[in-house]
Structure 1
Amino acid sequence: MSTRTHRTRMLVAAALTAATLTLTACNNGEGVQDEGASAGSTSTASPKADGGPSTGTDQTDSAGSPSAGSTGGAAGSNGTTGGTGSSGSTGSSGSSGSSGSTGSTGSTGSKDSEPTRTPCSPASTRTTATEVSRPLNHLLLTVTNTGSKNCNLTGYPAVRFSEAQSVPPAFEDSKPQAVVTLAPGESGYASVLLSAADGSGAGGYTAKSLAVYFNNSASAVAHPSLPAKGVYVDNSIRVSYWQPTMADALAW
């Protein structure tokens, strides 16, 4: 028993001696691996303090998400810029200026291409005076456009028989709705009531000549021929306005 106890004590002493040797070696700088590990953890901590990128998994994720967020923010800002561009496209409303093409309405100036309408005159017309049987005591004046342009017969003819000092008045109710326009070759008409059919007129005389004034102008006068025997005129004389048809003229 004493021998076994002695061996046990020797083993314990040897173990203690080994442990002591190990600790001593560590204190002499031989434990490089353990000290290196602690130094590595220290170097890892310093980049965190500087805010630089970390090779740690957790740091990579956290750093990745902010960079992605900033990228998304940039994209969002670009989207805003795009929106501004589209609003600029509303400037295309300037195309409404193309409505300025309504200047094409100037094509209404095509009216200028229509035949010029001027007052009829003896120089471009032929005037005749015809005694008719119905109605009684009436003379029919016919004016035919012999020119190359349209002309207008306005108002009523101012007629003067022989040496009369005045021109007869018109039947106001005979005034047409519009001015009578004669195209080349067309005719307009007016009638002259020479005397009262029942003989009630006064101051009668026989006229052998006739002057017809256009537009009441003394410089525009025609001299149509009368029948050789002349026509009888009294103070009942009246004229109609110029009419587009013979029937309209002889209605007065």
Structure 2
Amino acid sequence: MEPTQPAEDLSVTQQLPIPEFGDPEDPGDEAPDGSDTVVLSLFPCTLEPGNPEPDAGASSPQGGSSLKHSTTLTNRQRGNEVSALPATLDCDNLINKPDEHGFTPLIWASAFGEIETVRFLLEWGADPHILAKERESALSLASMGGYTDIVGLLLERDVDINIYDWNGGTPLLYAVRGNHVKCVEALLARGADLTTEADSGYTPMDLAVALGYRKVQQVIENHILKLFQSNLVPADPE
């Protein structure tokens, strides 16, 4: 973006001389035209022991002009109004407040693997069920990054393990796509659906085979085998 010109000309018709790092009490030389020139130099003011503090309203010896000592501006003078006292802040709304993408602090922390932050937010009431604008969830983004510990924390809060976002993925599909073996195991152990297809038509097994992720493929095969074994009904001895 090209720089814009200021709305007003901030230059002065008579340029003040550049102050030198000399004696801060030196009033400066007199201007050639006989008028008084005030030179301001920025120096820390240290009061001598026994010397009274100068009167802020006292007149300067420069032709009667008044120079007031700088004072510390308050927040109200600067225009910084306190909108709410800390004791009256709505912590529930702040902790679940989404940004322009619909991401809450919990979703961001899950996406970047900040497990201590995730644990802290959950303890303070962060809602793990909130979805972003494209239905991204904290669980999906944690699975995408392979953050198995965070996945476990979120699953303890009964989040939807098969949540399908608008990018065409579920937590299990994202974990397979990232070749996150431990995360795939954790999701399958909690009942993630192996039949859900991505937008491309791939199931988690199809995706593992297509990408050549042999360990992920083996984890899925072992899980399927356990499902078959658990569904076998003992034959009637008679």
TM-score, normalised to structure 1, is 0.19
As a proportion of its length, which structure holds more strand?
Answer: 1
As a proportion of its length, which structure holds more helix?
Answer: 1
Larger relative contact order (Cα-Cα within 8 Å, sequence gap ≥ 6)? 1
TM-score, normalised to structure 2, is 0.20
